[in-house]
Amino acid sequence: MNRNILFVLLKNEIAEQFRSRKLIVVLVVFFIFGLLSPITAMFMPDIISSVSESQNIKIEVPPPTWTDAVMQYIKNMTQIISFVLIITYMGVVAREKENGILVFLLVKPVKRSAIIISKYISVFFVAIIAILVSFIVSSFYTYLFFEGFIIQDFLLQNLFILFSVCSTLFVVVLFSSIFKSQIVAGILSFVAYLLISLTSQIESVSEYLPSGLIAQCNNIMQGEELSFIPIIGSIVFMSLCVVISIISFRKWEA
């Protein structure tokens, strides 16, 4: 594979992320949910108390701690964010099949594998930047609002969350490269996300899949034994996505 061609393709992909405002949208969403996590944890007890008093119901809510903020952060990053990513990137390849951009590229001396790999590298780049943004803003406000916040543990949790986010993005690129319809790619990505999430209920299976990443985030917070096997499993899973995409795209008739 010609590295210069791959670099040019990757440069164009990142530029397209800016032109289409996908990168801006993703960064804003990650920023918002990174900010909301500690704020929600901080003020939710007051909101619950206020509502309960208006209904003449007495509900005692314990004072919030930094663990509440982190738990809310993990939930946001692995659930709501996944839906946003699927909707945003379900057309990353399929849309270019529809509008003929890929046909234009294929008449040039560009390998199909290079096109697909550039897509995966670009979404990986997006994931790193987005997680970094959410980590910084959430760390700042969690440290500001709560005592005892352990930023080293939170950084390690974000490493596991990064692989979770990347796994979702790689699934989206996979289906987008297989199918020409953005809608079909989006629906199948959502179904795949749900199926992978359901495997978290089977500990012996989830340990080797991206669904086991969140369990490790909880282990970090609870001070339990940590395993990096889910990260290795996620790397294997993402590698399979890339290989299947390349094989499928090579068979695609423009």
pTM beyond 0.85: the answer is yes
Integer CA distances (angstroms), 232 to 62, 154, 197, in order:
38, 20, 17
Rg for the chain (alpha carbons), in Å?
A: 20
- Choose between 46 and 201: higher pLDDT: 201
Q: List the single range of 2-6, 70-74, 161-165, 222-226 with lowest mean pLDDT.
A: 2-6
Predicted pLDDT of residue 1: 58
- In angstroms, rounded to a whole number, what is the distance separating the alpha carbons of residues 240 and 150? 35
Predicted pLDDT of residue 132: 96
How many CB atoms are closer than 10 A to CB 131? 22
- In angstroms, rounded to a whole number, what is the distance separating the alpha carbons of residues 106 and 109? 7
Predicted pLDDT of residue 48: 65
Integer CA distances (angstroms), 223 to 15, 153, 220, in order:
42, 10, 5
pLDDT tens profile 35-94: 999 998 888 766 666 666 556 666 666 778 888 899 989 988 888 888 899 999 988 888
How many whole angstroms from its chain centre is CA 34? 13
Predicted pLDDT of residue 181: 86
Predicted pLDDT of residue 141: 93
pLDDT tens profile 101-159: 777 777 677 788 888 999 999 999 999 999 999 999 999 999 999 888 889 999 999 99
Looking at the chain, the whole-number percentage of residues with pLDDT higher than 70 is 92
How many whole angstroms from its chain centre is CA 186? 15
CA-nearest of 189, 179, 192 to 94 is 179
